[in-house]
Structure 1
Amino acid sequence: MSIIHLSAVASQEPSAADLAGIEQEWPLIAAELDLLDAQIAFINAGPYASVLDRRRVRRAERRVLDLSRDLADQETAEDGAA
């Protein structure tokens, strides 16, 4: 027995504000997916992981941090303007 009623979920669609929020956060989502790919490749390489594999993970981590900071700055600026 499911506790989620599908008729209630199926009738709800994202609002324009929800879609705009997703669009604004999409670069961060893509960077997090790239980080996950780099981490998976590093783990799968095991003892044969190279310096380049580790560098790829570090670059992906840095990109996630940079985009997170930029997104937080945008939200802070929007809150200050409102």
Structure 2
Amino acid sequence: MKHIVTVQEAVTAFADFMEPTAAELDAIELESPVIAAEVDLLDAQIKTLDRPANEVDARRIRRARNRVLAARRDLVNRTAGVMLPGGAA
């Protein structure tokens, strides 16, 4: 029985061009409030997986959803001027 073996090394696994650019890091930093709010929402939802949701859990999830919506709204309002170069409307 012959074994099939790859001969090439993995050249793209740790290549320099795979690092995030400064623009990508700035975009991540800009979206970090939305990411944090979504993580909080996920945490609130996970807490209710193993038991029925009570009134406190429902309130926690509702508040977390509102924080996600507010963070998304703020992100869109912040990036609206950035998305349109030259002031085109």
Question: In which range does the TM-score fall when normalised by the shorter chain?
Answer: 0.7 to 0.9
- Please give the TM-score of this superposition, normalised by the length of structure 2: 0.75
Alignment root-mean-square deviation, CA:
2.0
Provide the C-alpha distance between the structure 2 equivalents of 1:6 and 1:37, rounded to a whole number of angstroms: 37
Distance 2:69 2:57 in 1: 19
Query: Residue 72 of structure 2 aligns with which residue?
Result: 68
Identical amino acids, percent of aligned pairs = 43
Aligned residues: 77
Structure 1 length as normaliser, TM-score? 0.81
Q: Which has the larger radius of gyration?
A: 2
| Distance (whole Å) between structure 2 residues aligned to residue 34 and residue 59 of structure 1 | 10
Quick check: which one's helix share is greater?
1
Runs of 4+ in 1 over 3 A off after TM superposition: none
